[in-house]
Amino acid sequence: MAFLKVGKENSTDIELYYEDRGTGQPVVLIHGWPLSGASWERQSAALLASGHRVITYDRRGFGRSSQPSLGYDYDTLAGDTSKLIQALDLHGVTLVGFSMGGGEVARYFGKYAEPGRVTRAVFMASIAPALRHSADNPEGIDPAVFEGIKQAIEADRFAFLDTFLDTFYNKKLIGGTHISDAAIHASFNIATASSYHAFLNCVDAWLEDFRADIKRIHVPTLVIHGDSDQILPIEATGKRTAALIPSAQLHVIEGGPHGLNWTHATEVNKVLLEFLAR
């Protein structure tokens, strides 16, 4: 197992758990909330089989990474991504962000990008470009919705998670057609291992505005989103992100829920590999 120190809280080092496998063109996969790098299982297998170097890591507070009480804002989270890329001295990287991970991709380009380090970007069921409703962002969501989520987490995060994952995978709509109860249970187990601080405080980060960051992306970009995403509806997220990036490719997964990297892995992997091959 490999760990990278990215900070310190009092007497304790803050370390990211990461896996670095394969050879060839590097691809860094950034997971969504409230899972871990293990959620990339189906993409990692396809990428390795196609001759890519695959790097996954657990966001601070999740998986096997340290669980500090601080650092759940996007400047810090994207800074962690940048530190990993620098520590491994990666060049020519494709940076892939799923859901909350799309925020790290956007903020990386907005604040941390170094020439030649990251040369392609992928937003998959991503949180970008801006979720908070405001006068200049009418497509956004009332912040009160997120306060309700935080209250549900504070009351019983495990009960909240049980309902959340059903919506995450659209269980009532697609059932066992694309995902088993056992696979959803596995996601539940991964999520419950996260830190309470991370689980709760990341909700505030979801209100970040990434529009200025996205305008600084001038590399080939792929946006993958499901048209049945009930967590981050495509009209408010994926389509808007693609429109903000010149020449971005938008691929819509028909019937795809939020967790499409598992439920529609075959189509997702095909599109991702074709993008990397160009």
Helix axes 143-168, 181-192, angle to 10 degrees: 140
Active-site choice (31, 178, 225, 258): 258
Residue 111 contacts by C-beta under 8 Å, 6 or more apart in sequence?
75, 78, 79, 213
Active-site choice (80, 229, 251, 264): 229
Q: Which of 122, 124, 119, 129 is nearest to 39 (CA)?
A: 124
Active-site choice (99, 187, 194, 228): 99
First to last CA, the chain: 33
Which residue has 């935080």 as its token pair?
A: 150
Question: Could you confirm whether 31 is annotated as catalytic?
Answer: no
Question: Could you confirm whether 50 is annotated as catalytic?
Answer: no
Question: Could you confirm whether 178 is annotated as catalytic?
Answer: no
Beta pairing, strands 53-57 & 26-30: parallel
Cα(127)–Cα(180) distance, integer angstroms: 25
Sheet holding 118-124, edge to edge: 2-9, 12-21, 53-57, 26-30, 93-98, 118-124, 221-226, 249-253
Cα(237)–Cα(141) distance, integer angstroms: 11
Whether the CB-CB separation of 256 and 229 falls below 8 Å is answered with yes
Cα–Cα distances (Å) from 211 to 36, 114, 132, 181, 233, in that order, read 26, 19, 12, 37, 17
Question: What positions carry a catalytic annotation?
Answer: 99, 229, 258
